[in-house]
């Protein structure tokens, strides 16, 4: 039984995590949120109280901390007496926050792979470059670390495990498809921090096919998908965290990630990239000012957190998993549909942040009750998915299964 949670980060996903933790503080205990800018943490706590989101009276406090400073994070963990850290800060702070959790033996949850700010798209498997190097240290310290525990990565890893466990003897392919059929009403915007968002698409697209890493360029491989609720949508093979752990855990399957993009997004992205405006390497202006183009693009784009009030439409994210059962081909689509407006009404965020922020809170609750308190480092597909699905059915992200002509809740599909 672990209790008391420290949230690291104060962006759009942290906002969702804060609201969901508050809604479940009977299970989670004291709540704390920390980032470099304490005023952002305070604003999130205010929004929690404005919604009356605290399930019962309890602690929710804001703190200033630099996530790059392991000593400072360690001291904060000790001072506050927290036993679970949900890291939804910048992906640049993963390893320093994890270090603090290993030193203190508390549980660690994150939602995206560690990144070095000076590098884009390192060699696969990405988890092998940083996180998995600390696996033995986690085990020694009895530190539970659940990596990539948002939606994608996160829920889609659990979807893959569920599909293989329940419906197949052998798995042949796992295709993760992420479609945002929402409309934010702006000329152009990213749904996350543009700096992080664009970094996903400027490097090599790694997929795991025929038992080896394959390399493509972004927007080189596209396919039209016909998905529940959102209908026919074009998606492109993209690099994404979960491919790198699923390929290790299901090496016999082809593992690909597909991200939906409209023609307009691709056009804007292509122009910016071809001009060099998405570069993380500084350029020097005629006036001698050294500046990183991507940071200027970020400065002119809408702040993604401002999109929520006018965001309409739905997301559909799921796994099409193919394999064989009793010698016959079988195909199952495990998925969730979320609504931007519903997310805003509930927690003040758009649907993309909502889908990313609710699962790590579910993980924290399952660590709190012992179910997921593994005492070591895991990716989500290494955990039994059913307790997670059961919990998420009740807190906002129900899992559905499309199998042959049937489209039902996950529990009905295996009943």
Between residue 294 and residue 333, which ones bind a second copy under the rule CB under 8 A?
295-301
The 8-class DSSP code of residue 256 comes to: E
CB 8 within 8 A of CB 86: yes
User: Considering the rule CB under 8 A, would residue 271 count as an interface residue with a second copy?
Assistant: yes
Interface with a second copy (CB under 8 A), residue from 283, 306, 325, 329: 283
Residue 288 Cα distances to 90, 285, 298, 300, 372, angstroms: 29, 5, 21, 21, 53
CB 235 within 8 A of CB 258: yes
User: Considering the rule CB under 8 A, would residue 59 count as an interface residue with a second copy?
Assistant: no
User: Considering the rule CB under 8 A, would residue 217 count as an interface residue with a second copy?
Assistant: no
The distance of closest approach from Cβ of residue 40 to a second copy in the complex, given in angstroms and rounded to an integer, is 12
User: Considering the rule CB under 8 A, would residue 50 count as an interface residue with a second copy?
Assistant: no
Interface with a second copy (CB under 8 A), residue from 286, 327, 328, 415: 286
Q: Which stretch binds a second copy (CB under 8 A): 53-61, 120-128, 210-218, 285-293?
A: 285-293
Instruction: Please count the residues of this chain forming the interface with a second copy, following the rule CB under 8 A.
Output: 28
The distance of closest approach from Cβ of residue 238 to a second copy in the complex, given in angstroms and rounded to an integer, is 21
- 326 φ/ψ sector (left φ>0, alpha ψ -120 to 50, else beta): left
The distance of closest approach from Cβ of residue 41 to a second copy in the complex, given in angstroms and rounded to an integer, is 17
By C-beta, is 2 or 40 nearer to a second copy? 40
The pattern of x and - marking residues 242 through 261 that bind a second copy according to CB under 8 A reads: --------------------
Ramachandran angles phi, psi of 107, nearest 5°:
-75, 145
- 11 φ/ψ sector (left φ>0, alpha ψ -120 to 50, else beta): beta
The distance of closest approach from Cβ of residue 292 to a second copy in the complex, given in angstroms and rounded to an integer, is 8
User: Considering the rule CB under 8 A, would residue 213 count as an interface residue with a second copy?
Assistant: no
The pattern of x and - marking residues 166 through 195 that bind a second copy according to CB under 8 A reads: ---------------------xx------x
Residue 405 Cα distances to 89, 228, 312, 315, 344, angstroms: 41, 12, 29, 22, 33
User: Considering the rule CB under 8 A, would residue 291 count as an interface residue with a second copy?
Assistant: yes
User: Considering the rule CB under 8 A, would residue 1 count as an interface residue with a second copy?
Assistant: no
The distance of closest approach from Cβ of residue 117 to a second copy in the complex, given in angstroms and rounded to an integer, is 12
The distance of closest approach from Cβ of residue 272 to a second copy in the complex, given in angstroms and rounded to an integer, is 7
Q: Which helix (H) or strand (E) holds 43?
A: helix 38-50
Residue 121 Cα distances to 49, 186, 275, 389, angstroms: 40, 29, 20, 31
Nearest to 194 by CA among 309, 46, 299: 299
Ramachandran angles phi, psi of 164, nearest 5°:
-70, -45
User: Considering the rule CB under 8 A, would residue 267 count as an interface residue with a second copy?
Assistant: yes
Between residue 357 and residue 376, which ones bind a second copy under the rule CB under 8 A?
none
Q: Which residues pair with 214 in a beta bridge?
A: 207
User: Considering the rule CB under 8 A, would residue 262 count as an interface residue with a second copy?
Assistant: no
Q: How many CA atoms lie within 13 A of 151 on its CB side?
A: 31
- Which residues are near a second copy by CB under 8 A? 187-188, 195, 267-268, 271-272, 274-277, 279, 283-287, 289, 291-293, 295-301
């Amino acid at each position: 039984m672990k209790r008391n949670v420290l949230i690291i980060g104060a962006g759009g996903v942290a906002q969702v995590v804060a609201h969901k933790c508050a809604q479940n503080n009977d299970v989670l205990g004291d709540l704390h949120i920390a980032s470099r800018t304490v005023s952002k943490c305070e604003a999130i706590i205010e929004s929690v109280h404005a919604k009356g989101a605290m399930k019962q009276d309890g602690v929710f406090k804001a703190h200033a901390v630099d996530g790059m400073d392991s000593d400072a994070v360690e001291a904060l963990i000790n001072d506050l007496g927290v036993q679970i850290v949900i890291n939804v800060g910048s992906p640049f702070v993963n390893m320093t926050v994890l270090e603090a959790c290993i030193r203190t033996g508390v549980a660690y949850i994150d939602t995206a792979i560690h990144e070095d700010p000076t590098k884009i798209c390192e060699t696969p498997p990405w988890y092998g470059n940083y996180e998995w190097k600390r696996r033995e240290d986690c085990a020694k310290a009895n530190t539970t670390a659940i990596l990539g525990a948002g939606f994608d990565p996160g829920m889609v890893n659990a979807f893959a495990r569920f599909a293989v466990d329940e419906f197949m003897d052998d798995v042949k392919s796992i295709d993760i498809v992420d479609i945002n059929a929402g409309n934010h009403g702006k000329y152009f915007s990213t749904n996350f921090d543009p700096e992080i968002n664009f970094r996903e698409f400027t490097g090599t697209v790694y997929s795991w096919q025929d038992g080896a890493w394959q390399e493509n360029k972004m927007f080189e491989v596209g396919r039209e998908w016909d998905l529940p609720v959102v209908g026919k949508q074009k998606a492109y093979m993209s690099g994404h965290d979960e491919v790198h752990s699923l390929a290790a855990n299901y090496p016999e399957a082809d593992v690909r990630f597909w991200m939906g993009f409209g023609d307009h997004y691709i056009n804007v992205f292509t122009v910016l990239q071809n001009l060099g405006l998405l570069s993380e390497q500084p350029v020097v202006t005629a006036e001698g000012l050294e500046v990183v183009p991507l940071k200027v693009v970020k400065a002119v784009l809408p702040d993604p957190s401002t999109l929520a009030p006018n965001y309409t439409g739905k997301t559909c994210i799921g796994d099409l998993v193919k394999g064989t059962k009793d010698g016959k081909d079988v195909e199952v689509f495990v998925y969730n549909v979320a609504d931007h407006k519903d997310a805003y009404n509930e927690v003040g965020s758009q649907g993309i942040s909502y889908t990313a922020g609710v699962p790590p809170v579910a993980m924290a609750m399952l660590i709190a009750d012992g179910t997921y308190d593994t005492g070591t480092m895991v990716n989500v597909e290494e955990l039994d998915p059913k307790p997670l699905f059961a919990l998420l059915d009740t807190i906002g992200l129900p899992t559905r299964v499309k199998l042959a002509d049937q489209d039902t809740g996950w529990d009905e599909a295996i009943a």
